[in-house]
Amino acid sequence: MILGEVHDNPGHHARQAEVLVGLDPSALVFEMISAEQAALVTPDLAGDAEALAAALDWGNSGWPDFSYYAPLFAFGAEAPVYGAAIDRAAAQEAFAAGAAAVFAGDAARFGLTQHLPEDEQAEREAEQMAAHCDALPPEILPGFVEAQRLRDAALAEAALAALAAHGPPVAIITGNGHARRDWGVPALLARAAPDVTVFTLGQFEDAPEGEVPFDLWALSDPVDRPDPCLAFR
């Protein structure tokens, strides 16, 4: 996602790193790291993928291989890096008590104090079920949705802080679920800062069908990985 005025042709596919080259972001916000980890991304370290991965303890992060992210972190040599990761304890608390009870900022500003519309709640729960291999008990799905809302709010808050400190354009590096315009971070930004322009980029391994909730989408080569649902079969 990009905050600030962007001129692009949504009919063209592009990769995130290629977009950032032409964008020259003023700051970057990463879903994958915390604010404390972001402070470790110095200009000298940003260009050294091996050293940066070690400093961030990436091998124990649960995210894919750092080589996929290194070209994005390399922009930290030119622009400040922000982290918006939610730790496991906060996610678990949001799961049990709701995002509004956990969020340290202004929960109402990002809509966390309000219930989602019934149709959106149902669709979000269905997506959580599919993302977890259709193996979850239905009664715990609302907790997963609340944890996702907490992460959305953390990303939105960090992005607005970066925008206020450095001006546009700010780039947010996150997954499709958080980047979608209809209910992800862009929806929270539209509520909290309606004057801010947001541009969204989704990434897919196969061309999506039907309506796509992004301004632009890109195709990436499939990653060779084991079937994550194999253990549930």
Angle at 171 between CA 198 and CA 145, to 5 degrees: 70
Question: Peptide bond preceding 194: is omega within 30 degrees of 0, i.e. cis?
Answer: no
The predicted pLDDT at position 8 comes to 40
**In terms of Cα–Cα distance, which of 102, 180, 176 is closest to 143?**
102
Contact (Cβ atoms closer than 8 angstroms) between residue 174 and residue 185 = yes
Listed by start position, the domains of the chain span: 2-232
Token code pair at residue 19:
């977009």
Distance, in Å, from the CA atom of 40 to the CA atom of 55, rounded to the nearest integer, reads 7
**In terms of Cα–Cα distance, which of 217, 82, 92, 91 is closest to 156?**
82
The predicted pLDDT at position 224 comes to 78
Considering the segment(s) 2-232 as one domain, its CATH architecture is 3-Layer(aba) Sandwich (3.40)
The predicted pLDDT at position 37 comes to 97
- Predicted TM-score (pTM) of the model is 0.90
Token code pair at residue 191:
């509520």
Residues of the chain with pLDDT under 70: 1, 3-21, 233
Residue for token pair 């649902």? 229
> Which residues are within 8 A (CB) of 84 and not within 5 positions of it... i.e. 6 or more apart?
29, 30, 31, 34, 35, 151, 154, 155, 157, 158, 159
The predicted pLDDT at position 232 comes to 73
The predicted pLDDT at position 23 comes to 79
